[in-house]
């Protein structure tokens, strides 16, 4: 390890060392001090000791659709003339819609993979999901979804981060893993635990960097503060275990074919981690590009195809391993789009939008009722299901955590699971 790497471990801000709270809240433990090129924190040692977690643990995979997905061109009210009138250039012709057989709704034509999951009882379509007094700012609305709070300002933890804090146990695998980028989403930021964030499972390889890490860390031990020793201990554990974890993951790699998409690659890696008995109960990833203010037809259909084909391949991989009943996939976006298209052949920020749930345990079909374009909320689809009711159901019935310990106030769990 170079001197620069050692300096990264002992750097200061305004003359003070990096505190343990900064280390956790800033995601440094999760990204393993990006300046060093080491991408795995001390959770690896715990995972190595628990490479075969209990098979009855239920797993949640969250896919964030970033930018504000146009729900009306995803789950389409094709029987409603108001839809076709409001979108003269963007409307999907009724004859092309993949019909769901409920509420006059259908999927966008490129979503054949998810339609197959729907037909086989592995997909739940939740319409009209949102929250009161919708905020059309990307940042604030995403913070609301991430924190499950209508007042997200100043919040340092997310709803899944609270789950991490409540479920983490010494000597156990990490409760959550972000497989997307090394930027930790607010949704999974915890107060007392570090959540690892990696861009791909190849980051499990230390390569040549690992050879000199222990000695480099030891060289600054003499002047270390307690907080720095905490960081050092985390890094030392990483070095001693990374190659063991790499071996576990490599041996479990899926042989199934996935489409050539970024999301598909990330879901393939999540399948491998689950199959390897990695032990995390929450996986988080995203698909970006849904802020379709102009020329929407050029980008929205390909994005939905990527989502649909990737999710279908992921579920097929889980089924091949017999894991489809252990895994629940949840998709969401920070808001939907306006009902009327704009003058740039796009759509602007809206309110309620659909969510999707996939897996053997979810209640198949359409929940949330019809999309009523005769009863709008200031030109937007009106929310009829509070997203926190969905969270409450996931917390209570899937993760096994009391929703009251995570959410602000009481929210009746939505009926999203089989009876």
Q: What is the mean pLDDT of residues 336-341?
A: 99
Q: How far apart are CA 229 and CA 239, in angstroms?
A: 15
User: Pick from 64, 68, 128: which is nearest to 292 by CA?
Assistant: 68
Whether the per-residue pLDDT at 6 is higher than 80: the answer is no
Distances (CA, A) of 116 to 69, 95, 106, 309: 21, 18, 13, 10
Q: Where are the beta strands (DSSP E) in 102-156?
A: 106-107, 123-130
User: What is the reported pLDDT for 203?
Assistant: 63
State which H helix or E strand residue 179 sits in: strand 176-179
26-30, 88-92, 336-340, 342-346: which has the minimum mean pLDDT?
26-30
Mean pLDDT of the chain: 83
Question: Quick one: pLDDT band at residue 172, thresholds 50, 70, 90?
Answer: confident
pLDDT in tens, 13-61: 344 444 555 544 444 443 443 333 333 444 444 444 444 334 348 999 9
Please tell me the class of the 52-207+258-405 domain. alpha beta
User: What is the reported pLDDT for 194?
Assistant: 86
The number of C-alpha atoms within 13 Å of 278 and in the hemisphere containing its C-beta is 30
Q: How far apart are CA 174 and CA 270, in angstroms?
A: 14
Q: What is the mean pLDDT of residues 208-231?
A: 54
| For the chain, the helix, strand and coil percentages under 3-state DSSP, each to the nearest 5 | 40, 15, 45
CA geometry: angle 54, 55, 60, nearest 5 deg: 100
User: What is the reported pLDDT for 400?
Assistant: 94
SS3 287: strand
User: What is the reported pLDDT for 348?
Assistant: 99
Question: Quick one: pLDDT band at residue 9, thresholds 50, 70, 90?
Answer: very low
Question: Quick one: pLDDT band at residue 10, thresholds 50, 70, 90?
Answer: very low
| Choice between 213 and 185, residue whose per-residue pLDDT is larger | 185
Q: What is the mean pLDDT of residues 371-391?
A: 98
Q: Which two tokens stand for residue 336?
A: 């939907």
Render the burial of 376-386: b for 16+ CB within 10 Å, e for the rest.
bbeebbbbbbb
Mention every residue, 6+ apart, whose C-beta is less than 8 A from residue 104: 77, 78, 79, 80, 370
Say what percent of the chain tops pLDDT 90.
65
User: What is the reported pLDDT for 168?
Assistant: 87
User: What is the reported pLDDT for 33?
Assistant: 38
User: Pick from 238, 190, 195: which is nearest to 9 by CA?
Assistant: 238
Task: Write down the pTM of the prediction.
Answer: 0.83
| Choice between 14 and 229, residue whose per-residue pLDDT is larger | 229
| Choice between 154 and 38, residue whose per-residue pLDDT is larger | 154
């Amino acid at each position: 390890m170079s001197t620069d790497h050692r300096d990264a471990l002992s750097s200061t801000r305004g003359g003070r060392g990096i505190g343990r709270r900064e280390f956790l809240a800033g995601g440094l433990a999760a990204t393993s001090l990006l300046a060093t090129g080491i991408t795995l924190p001390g959770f690896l040692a715990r995972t190595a000791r628990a490479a075969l977690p209990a098979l009855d643990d239920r797993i949640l995979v969250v896919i964030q659709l970033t930018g504000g997905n146009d729900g009306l061109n995803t789950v389409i009210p094709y029987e409603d003339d108001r839809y076709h009138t409001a979108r003269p250039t963007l409307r999907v012709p009724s004859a092309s819609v993949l019909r769901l057989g409920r509420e006059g709704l259908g999927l966008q034509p490129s979503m054949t993979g998810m339609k197959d999951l729907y037909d086989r009882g592995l997909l739940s379509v939740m319409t009209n999901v949102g929250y009161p007094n919708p905020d059309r700012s990307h940042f604030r609305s995403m913070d609301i979804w991430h924190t499950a709070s209508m007042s997200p300002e100043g919040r340092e933890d997310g709803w899944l981060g609270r789950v991490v804090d409540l479920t983490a146990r010494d000597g156990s695998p990490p409760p959550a893993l972000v497989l997307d980028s090394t930027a930790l989403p607010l949704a999974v930021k915890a107060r007392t635990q570090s959540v690892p964030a990696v861009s791909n499972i190849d980051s499990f390889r230390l390569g040549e960097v690992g050879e000199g890490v222990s000695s480099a860390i030891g060289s600054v031990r003499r002047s270390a503060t307690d907080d720095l020793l905490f960081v050092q201990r985390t890094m030392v554990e990483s070095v001693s275990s990374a190659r063991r974890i790499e071996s576990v993951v490599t041996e479990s790699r899926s042989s199934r074919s996935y489409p050539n998409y970024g999301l598909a690659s990330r879901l393939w890696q999540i399948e491998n981690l689950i199959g390897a008995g990695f032990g995390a109960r929450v996986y988080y990833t995203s698909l970006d590009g849904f802020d379709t203010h102009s020329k929407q037809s050029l980008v929205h259909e390909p994005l939905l195809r990527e989502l649909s084909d990737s999710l279908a391949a992921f579920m097929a991989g889980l089924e091949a391993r017999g894991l489809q009943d252990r895994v629940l996939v949840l998709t969401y976006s920070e808001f939907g789009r306006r009902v009327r298209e704009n003058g740039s052949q796009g759509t602007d920020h809206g309110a309620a939008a659909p969510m999707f749930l996939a897996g053997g345990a979810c209640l198949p079909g359409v929940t949330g009722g019809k999309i009523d374009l005769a009863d709008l909320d200031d030109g937007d689809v009106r929310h009829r299901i509070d997203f926190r009711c969905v969270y409450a159901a996931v917390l209570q019935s899937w993760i096994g955590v009391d929703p009251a310990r995570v959410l602000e106030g009481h929210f009746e769990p939505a009926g999203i699971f089989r009876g």
